[in-house]
Amino acid sequence: MYFKVLLSLLVYLAIGIGSTASASFPNVDTAKIQLGAVKAAVMDLDSGKVLYSKHADWVTPIASITKVMTAMVVLDSQQGLNEWVVIPKSDRETSKNAYSRMRVGSKLTRSDLLRLALMSSENLAAYSLAKSYPGGVEAFVNQMNAKAKSLGMMNTQFADASGLSTNNLSTAEDLLKMVKAAAEYEEVRKYSTTPRFTARFKSPRYSLNYGNTNRFVHRDSWDIGLSKTGYLSEAGRCLVLVSELEGRPVVMVLLDAFGKVTPLGDAQRVKRWLTTGSSGHIAGPALAYEKSKAKEYPR
């Protein structure tokens, strides 16, 4: 009797597991999703199945999405996260294109620099991490490119750690691979989804308050497991995130959108599409931008 019950239970579990996997997002129809991002990709993280792609092989600047790779290289190096790092004078690219409240010559732990780079997109924090790497910035960027190659990101190149250079280039499909790898790092998940943080510096002592650049991490309606925003005029508005939807982790890569809220609106549209079967429509400037940018890439 015991074995019959056990066998019945195993059959039930096998059927249940199989139906869950095959029935995940059963309503998805790519004809019923519209996004403002010019390049985009959506993936079921557990299965690796790409649920949606739009110009996902087009090479484009990725702005501060770069910092996700920066974080992985820092963590792979196994440099002490509690070690105090001197904030260096910024390089030409960083000083030209970004403002920082951090004081040159003061110190912050590597852990806190990593958190600020991910949650608040602090460019000088990212540069400080690269500068303190064995061999300096050049060695750090070389390792970023080596890491990208090891992940199969064959249409990706990095030129700096912050993403301020327009020579940081990738595709939506390559960034799916990067985000999938980054989701394996506890620190990347934790730091990139920190809503608010007070950084406490020394030499001299002072404190600075920071907030997350993705407002969704503050909302109970979103279960965000990883997040990174990005913006350059050449890259448009960008967002990558991992979120739990219908009980499954989903990766979204949204690149080159118009207006600060369009990537967030796109994320909402992806969520609606996966949960109801239809994303709804975009309109106005975001739609006009998407159509005009698409013409720059004749097929």
Q: pLDDT (tens digit, 9 = 90+) per residue, 22-32?
A: 347 876 899 99
Q: Are 74 and 114 in contact (CB under 8 A)?
A: yes
Determine whether 24 is an active site residue. Answer: no
Distances (CA, A) of 245 to 97, 116, 277, 294: 36, 27, 13, 29
Q: Coil, helix or strand for 43?
A: strand
On average, the pLDDT of the chain sits at 90
DSSP calls for 193-260: T-SEEEEEEBTTTEEEEEE-S-GGGG-TT--EEEEEEEEETTTEEEEEEEEEETTEEEEEEEEEESST
Q: pLDDT (tens digit, 9 = 90+) per residue, 152-174?
A: 999 999 999 999 999 999 999 99
145 vs 166: CA distance, rounded Å: 15
Determine whether 121 is an active site residue. Answer: yes
Determine whether 64 is an active site residue. Answer: yes
Q: pLDDT (tens digit, 9 = 90+) per residue, 49-59?
A: 999 999 999 99
212 vs 216: CA distance, rounded Å: 9
Q: What is the maximum alpha-carbon separation in the chain?
A: 76
Reported pTM: 0.90
CATH architecture label of 27-294: 3-Layer(aba) Sandwich (3.40)
The catalytic position among 24, 53, 54, 64 is: 64
Nearest to 87 by CA among 125, 52, 61, 53: 125
The catalytic position among 24, 53, 54, 67 is: 67
The catalytic position among 121, 128, 132, 165 is: 121
